[in-house]
Amino acid sequence: MPLVKLQSEKETGNIEYKIRLCNDTEDKINQLGTQMLYRLYQGNGYVIYYLGVCDNGDVIGIFENDLDNSFSLLKKVSNKIGAELINFIKINVDGTDKFYMKVILKKNLDLSLINLNEDEC
């Protein structure tokens, strides 16, 4: 049983949980970039990622090396889509040699391209 539990991840909103990111193929980076853009639009330009956290909100943590690699890949994805790293914090899972991380990113979004008038579709 995890020592820390967050709310379960929702399909909508600007919060995304990842246990770890380890696949840096171009296809995976593109997929993660699309997901990041979706979360950014949901958060009006802001997204919060939790690394070392399951979709159900269990904070299981991962070893520091895996966390650092996941964070590097997340930064690579954010750079690709033009998102800016605002803040991050690495947190030790009490009584273990595992960590989780909260990462906040932002991107200026051009919402003027979205047609809100259904009559003009």
Whole-angstrom distance, CA of residue 119 vs CA of residue 121: 6
pLDDT digits (tens, 9 = 90+) for 51-110: 999 999 999 999 999 999 999 999 999 999 999 999 999 999 988 999 999 999 999 987
Indicate the pTM of the whole model: 0.87
> HEC states along the chain?
CCCEECCCCCCCCCEEEECCCCCCCHHHHHHHHHHHHHHHHHCCCEEEEEECECCCCEECCEEHHHHHHHHHHHHHHHHHHCCEEEEEEEEECCCCCEEEEEEEEECCCCHHHCCCCHHHC
Residue spans per domain, the chain:
4-109
Of the candidate CATH numbers 3.30.110.20, 1.20.1260.10, 3.40.1190.20, 3.30.470.20, the domain formed by 4-109 belongs to 3.30.110.20
